[in-house]
Structure 1
Amino acid sequence: MSFNASDDDSQQRFALGFLFALITLIIATVLGVVVFKRGIQRAPVAAPAAVAVAEPAPVAAAAPGVVVTEEAAVVVEGGVVKFYFASGKVDLAPGAAEALQDVARGVNEGGRSAAISGYHDATGDAALNAELAKQRAVAVREALLALGVAEDKVELKKPEVTQADGNNAQARRVEVLLLP
């Protein structure tokens, strides 16, 4: 009978050890997920892989590695030309002319058209911000027209959501996309 009792004890120890290991694994997984999600929320936003036409000068850092600017800038990212604006301003950034010349060339030589969309940040009055986003889009449109792009080849397109994500400096932008 001692042989059977030993087998029972051995099986019970194995079952308890397995249960303990399973509980430990579950707790470690839950803690890992929580730490990972908090790390993502606090992680610095990496600069997009883009060709910068004009680099903005940093004004302040919202969090380590997140640069907030108050200056206008132009960035070409994934085939989209993004014009960033200073708070409350409609002035195009230095380097905007070069980026717009490339867009104009794409429209005029490629038989394409351009869609221009304006976005705004979340600060201040929403109606005033929406109007400012429209004025910025019109400023980009006027600059394209001045470069010889036909008026019927430039479309002002209001995005479904005009309040953009990201920090406020990144949200204050106009995007130009070449359409087929």
Structure 2
Amino acid sequence: MYQEDKDDTTRVGLWITFGVVALVIISVISAMVVRQLRGTAAASPAAAVVVVEEVVLIEGPLEGELVGTLFFETAQAALPADAAVELGKVVQALVTVPSRRVVLSGFHDATGDAGRNAELAKQRALSARAALAAAGIDTSRIALRKPEVTTGTGTEQEARRVELRVIE
């Protein structure tokens, strides 16, 4: 009988030890979760602030000095690989003469859905605008023209372009 009592006591001791270890682990994990949630809650108000800038599309004839042209892939608004060279020309022209501005003109062809094509041309111009802003050009110096349809017998690549024109 003495051995059975000793076995029961050992078993109870092991269960108590297991319970304490489990509670410690659960407490540590809970504390980590609470800290994470507090950190997220503290960051949420800052993350909730969204600045929406209105994009005004100008109309009128193309004017200004053509400084660069960006040619985009089909159905893509991501800047092409050689965009840095063309955008660099614009940045240089604007830095050299601070009174200058740039007008971005997005083009698309007449095939397919006209609204979708115009939106894609606009997104391409906005990609160029974002790159110029990232290069330090104030967005007040960057104007976007209303997207326009290409005419004539140009190549498909010419229909997927954004022209970068510097104006005084």
Normalising by structure 2, we get a TM-score of 0.56
Q: RMSD across aligned C-alpha pairs, in angstroms?
A: 1.5
Distance apart, 1:113 and its partner CA: 0.6
**Deviation of the 1:124 alpha carbon:** 1.3
Q: 1:86 aligns with which of 55, 73, 93?
A: 73
Cα distance in 2 for residues equivalent to 1:169 and 1:106: 25
3-state DSSP of counterpart to 2:108? coil
Q: 1:108 aligns to what SS in structure 2?
A: helix
Higher RCO (C-alpha 8 Å, min separation 6): 2
**Aligned positions of 1:121-160 closer than 5 A:** 121-158=109-146
Q: Which amino acid aligns with 1:104?
A: V
- Aligned with 1:164 (options 139, 147, 150): 150
Question: Conserved in 2, the CA contact under 8 Å of 1:84 and 1:169?
Answer: yes
Q: How far is 1:171 from its partner?
A: 1.0
The answer as to whether partners of 1:121 and 1:169 remain within 8 angstroms in 2 is no
Instruction: Tell me how far apart the structure 2 counterparts of residues 147 and 113 of structure 1 sit (CA, whole Å).
Output: 14
Cα offset, 1:101, TM superposition = 1.6
Gaps of 5+ in 1: 1-77
CA distance in 2, matches of 1:168, 1:126: 16
Deviations 1:94-148 (A, max 9, x none): 1211221221121122121100010101221111000000000000000000000
Letter in 2 for 1:130: A
Give the ranges of 4+ consecutive aligned residues of structure 1 lying more than 6 Å apart after TM superposition.
Answer: none
Is structure 2 residue 115 aligned with structure 1 residue 115?
no
The unaligned stretches of length 5 or more in structure 2 are 1-64
Q: Over alpha carbons, which structure has the higher Rg?
A: 2
Amino acid at match of 1:101: G
| CA displacement at 1:80 relative to structure 2 | 3.3
More strand by share: 1
- 2:89 alignment partner in structure 1: 102
8 Å contact kept, 2:70–2:86 = no
Q: Secondary structure at the match of 1:119?
A: strand
TM-score where L is the length of structure 1: 0.53
Amino acid at match of 2:113: D
Aligned residues: 101
